[in-house]
């Protein structure tokens, strides 16, 4: 049996294939989370949709609410790409494969990423439909996408995650939200592997350690982007109260329903961010 390809070789092959199809090097990328993929980006120019399945090695989501396609377009002078859907650890993917798509775009030349997700509210002051700008995270997955593939392989890099969620990028997002009359707050996001939702006891623990939100994505992508030299910001769409908060019992149907109602607001915000982007 032959030796499997290195992850860096996979990134390179995917990048070259995408480069031939897209013929565009975006400077701003948005990743759309569960149920948030209904954006149309009216008024955008040079729109090109590419299914993930057309790019070698790019994993295709299996969960409802994740479309599995890239949308390239231009807003004002800013070249953008939206990743409509992502894969997760709970689908059986490794930490490296969960982060492959954003790493391919980094390799293509994109350096700024706005990650979005659907999240449960640990903080009871957040209500379904709220947008929360992530200021920090708590990684409870036990995974790190920057870890070498094997001992004595590539050198270990100890990446500094202070101010991982870029303060200047967050400032642009807050200014853009104000221009669009969109209310947005800030909070700390806790990431677990899933797919089971958390127990009420686990939510109480998360609250005690400083989490405002909980979900199953975003964090590994953010770490990989920082590792690759990119800038990152992230927004949670609160789709439900976390388990036990005011008697809540989360379901994926509720997550998708609330997220779809919020996607128009996120689309307006992203358009304004693109216009303000430098």
Task: Output the six-digit token pair for 119.
Answer: 């999240």
| Given the residues 14, 52, 66, 259, the one annotated as active site | 66
What is the number of helices (H) and of strands (E) in the chain?
A: 7, 9
Active site residue 152: no
Active site residue 252: yes
Catalytic pick among 117, 123, 236, 240: 240
Q: Does the annotation mark 223 as catalytic?
A: no
Q: Which of 130, 176, 217, 263 is catalytic?
A: 217
Dump the DSSP string for 147-211: S-SSTTSSPP-----TT-B-HHHHHHHHHHHHHTT--EEEEEEEE---SSPPPHHHHHHHHHTT-
| Cα–Cα nearest to 120, from 37, 221, 211, 32 | 211
Catalytic residue from among 13, 252, 260, 276 = 252
Pick the catalytic residue: 44, 95, 216, 259? 216
State yes or no: is 91 an active-site residue.
Answer: yes
Q: Which of 169, 174, 201 is nearest to 186 (CA)?
A: 174
Active site residue 46: no
Q: Is 236 a catalytic residue?
A: no
Residue 216 known to be catalytic: yes
Q: Which of 39, 44, 95, 118 is catalytic?
A: 118
Active site residue 88: yes
Residues serving a catalytic function are 34, 66, 88, 90-91, 118, 216-217, 240, 252
């Amino acid at each position: 049996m032959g030796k499997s390809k290195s992850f860096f070789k996979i990134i390179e092959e995917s990048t070259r294939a995408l480069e031939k199809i897209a013929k565009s090097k975006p400077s701003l990328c948005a990743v759309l989370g569960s149920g948030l993929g209904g954006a149309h980006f009216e008024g955008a120019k040079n729109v090109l949709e590419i299914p993930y399945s057309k790019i070698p090695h790019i994993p295709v989501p299996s969960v409802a609410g994740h479309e599995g396609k890239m949308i390239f377009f231009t807003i004002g002078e800013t070249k953008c790409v939206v990743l409509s859907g992502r894969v997760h650890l709970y689908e059986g993917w490794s930490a490296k494969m969960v982060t492959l798509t954003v790493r391919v775009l980094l390799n293509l030349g994109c350096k700024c990423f706005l990650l979005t997700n659907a999240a449960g509210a640990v903080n009871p002051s957040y209500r379904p439909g709220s947008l929360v700008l992530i200021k920090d995270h708590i990684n409870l997955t036990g995974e790190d996408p920057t870890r070498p593939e094997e001992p004595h392989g590539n050198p270990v890099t100890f990446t500094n995650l202070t101010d991982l969620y870029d303060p200047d990028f967050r400032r642009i997002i807050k200014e853009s939200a104000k221009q669009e009359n969109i209310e947005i707050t800030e909070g700390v996001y806790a990431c677990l592997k899933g797919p089971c939702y958390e127990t009420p006891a686990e939510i109480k623990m998360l609250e005690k350690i400083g989490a405002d939100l909980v979900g199953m994505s975003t964090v590994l992508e953010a770490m990989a982007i920082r590792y690759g030299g990119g800038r990152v910001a992230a927004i949670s769409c609160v789709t439900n109260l976390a388990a036990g908060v005011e008697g809540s019992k989360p379901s994926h149907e509720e997550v998708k329903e609330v997220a779809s109602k919020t996607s128009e607001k996120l689309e307006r915000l992203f358009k304004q961010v693109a216009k303000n982007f430098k």
